[in-house]
Amino acid sequence: MSKKRSKGRRIRGCSSESFIDAREVLSRLNLKGDEVFMDAGCGDGHAAIHAQKMLGDDAVVYALDSYQPSIEDLKRDVQRRGISNIVPIHGDIAGEVDLEDETVDVILMINVYHHFLENTDEAIAELKRITKAGGRVAVMDYKKMDTGYGPPLKHKQSPGEVEEAFKRHGLKMVQLDTEVGEELEDGTKSHYLIVFQKE
């Protein structure tokens, strides 16, 4: 995971920008354009920036991360770009996020879910709390394979394991794309995208 500058932008936190096409991931979510969106565990916020471009100036795009320097960098970045509808928030997905219940229509987490091995239920409960009824939580993460990159295999979870965890919180799987992300040597893709809906 890059901790260096990327494409001339500042990065003091993590970014998958160099190997994940966030636009392609966002296009799979079939956004209508009027959603309140969140890039949760946003790192440098590149997915939030693409989401803002897709949704337009009237949208609200939250970019949340627990790493304060990433949030401070993103605040400066959006100000420099003159973007007023990306709202960077410092907060812990597995703790407390400073938002009212049922605020967000669509939450996307790219390469974040594998951080919740120890506190899966806390994280899902908080994601569920801030999601509107009918809203969606999308998890994009590394396939459970020993590809030699990404987190250690023991931290990777299969879509079935992720589904089981969300099911405990009453969230229903509504989409599973098994070939997403970076192309691997054998022609398959590195990631999956699994989407849950709150009733």
Ligand X SMILES: C[S@@+](CC[C@H](N)C(=O)[O-])C[C@H]1O[C@@H](n2cnc3c(N)ncnc32)[C@H](O)[C@@H]1O
Q: Which residues bind ligand X (CB under 6 A)?
A: 1, 13-17, 20, 41-43, 46, 64-67, 70, 92-94, 110-112, 115
Contact 196, 136 (CB under 8 A): yes
Q: Residue 157 or 187: which CB sits closer to ligand X? A: 157
Q: Residue 5 or 57: which CB sits closer to ligand X? A: 5
The C-alpha atoms of residue 184 and residue 182 are separated, in whole angstroms, by 6
First-to-last C-alpha distance (Å) of the chain = 35
State the nearest-atom distance from the C-beta of 192 to ligand X, in Å.
14
Contact 112, 45 (CB under 8 A): no
Beta-carbon neighbour count of residue 67 at 10 Å? Answer: 15
State the nearest-atom distance from the C-beta of 145 to ligand X, in Å.
17
The C-alpha atoms of residue 102 and residue 120 are separated, in whole angstroms, by 20
CA-based nearest residue to 28, from 138, 157, 159 = 138
Q: Residue 148 or 187: which CB sits closer to ligand X? A: 148
State the nearest-atom distance from the C-beta of 85 to ligand X, in Å.
19
Q: Residue 20 or 99: which CB sits closer to ligand X? A: 20
State the nearest-atom distance from the C-beta of 141 to ligand X, in Å.
10
